[in-house]
Amino acid sequence: MVDTRLLESFVAVAESRSVADAARRLNIAPATLALRIRSLEQEFGFALLTRSGRIAKPTPAGLELALRAVAILRDIRELKTLNDHDRPRGKIRLGVAQTAITTVLCDVLPALAAKYPDLDIVVQKGSSAQVFEKLNGGEIDGALLFHPPFQFSKSFTWRLLRAEPYIVISQAAETVTESLRLLKERPFVRYDRSLWSGQIAESYLRQQRIRPRERIELDALDAIAVLVDRGLGVSLVPNRELPWPEGLAIAKHTLPEPAPRRELGLLWPVASAYSRLLRVIEQEALYIMGNERPT
């Protein structure tokens, strides 16, 4: 019987087209990964990869094996989750939006590890849009992300964990306190419109018919706060739970209601075999954030 670790290693190389990249993804040495691939080739009796420089491309037979291995590994992982309904166990692949790693995941993961030592969570990070694309493609089993400026299809289950209203931030010494006036009169540091959260801010500006005097567009909230502190302008951003970097003198200005907000939550396919495990993660996240105690 083929060791599933060998199949997982080969699939990682086939997907990344690089032994070095796959080794980093699996957190093992490239030499160890190469030995695993060689063992698998000896097991099947044919070559699985062709190498050209740093690129490792599956042979036709290797590509067929990779496609079948993905399905086999998924079935094995799903079967492991059915073993014990009272004690969650097995492996689950969770995509996490970059901002949520520091604001939620770093609190939730230690609690889950202590309470459910047999539950193995493999985290893949990216923007919310990137994480959603991976979920659509079956690369991950669930996603901790911010809701997009569109509705999810009914084939997904969405669980809201936290909502963050948008605010205007300025230098603490700013004399104007009215948020909409600040957006109209002061130079503007824009939250990147390629991000879903940035698109929410842009939609609000359009609704208010405000065309700010834009100076720069950034995708990092900490960097935006630093530039606001240094007098480059004001910004329209979510009022996140994570504190701003130390040493900044930032003033927060609330928006008139109804103010926009971004919603952080868990998303997974309705028909997923991992629904039970994702509900465990949901309840622990809600408990950590003080919303409710897990049952």
Mean pLDDT over all residues of the chain? 86
Are 252 and 182 contained in the same domain? yes
- Give the pLDDT of residue 217: 95
Q: Which residue has the higher pLDDT, 115 or 217?
A: 217
The structure tokens 């971004």 sit at 262
DSSP H stretches of helix in the chain: 4-16, 19-26, 30-44, 60-81, 98-100, 106-115, 128-136, 179-185, 196-207, 221-229, 275-288
The reply to whether 106 falls in a domain is yes
What is the per-residue pLDDT across 30-42, written as a single tens digit (0 to 9) for each? 888 888 888 888 8
Interval 149-179: pLDDT, tens: 889 989 999 999 989 999 999 999 999 999 9
Residues 135 and 267 in one domain: yes
Mean pLDDT of the 9-14 span: 86
Residue 84: pLDDT over 70: no
Q: Domain check: are 62 and 109 in the same one?
A: no
Mean pLDDT of 97-119: 79
Q: What domain count does the chain have?
A: 3
Q: Are residues 184 and 255 in the same domain?
A: yes
What's the CATH number where 54 sits?
Answer: 1.10.10.10
Cβ neighbours for 59, distance < 8 A, ≥ 6 positions apart: 46, 47, 48, 49, 50
Indicate if 257 and 274 belong to the same structural domain: no
More confident residue, 89 or 96: 96
Q: Quick one: pLDDT at residue 145?
A: 93
Q: Which of 240, 220, 244 is nearest to 166 (CA)?
A: 240
> 85 or 59: which carries more pLDDT confidence?
59
Residue 197 burial (CB < 10 Å; 0-12/13-18/19+)?
A: buried
Please give the residue range of the domain that contains residue 190.
163-261
Mean pLDDT within 212-228: 93
**Same domain (yes/no): 9, 50:** yes
Alpha-carbon distance of 254 to 262, in angstroms, equals: 15
Residue 274, pLDDT above cutoff 60: yes
Per-residue model confidence as pLDDT tens digits over 139-155: 888 999 999 988 998 99
pLDDT given for residue 279 in this prediction: 84
What confidence score (pLDDT) does residue 293 get? 45
157 with 270, same domain: the answer is yes
- Does the pTM surpass 0.85? The reply is no
For residues 252 and 190, state if they share a domain: yes
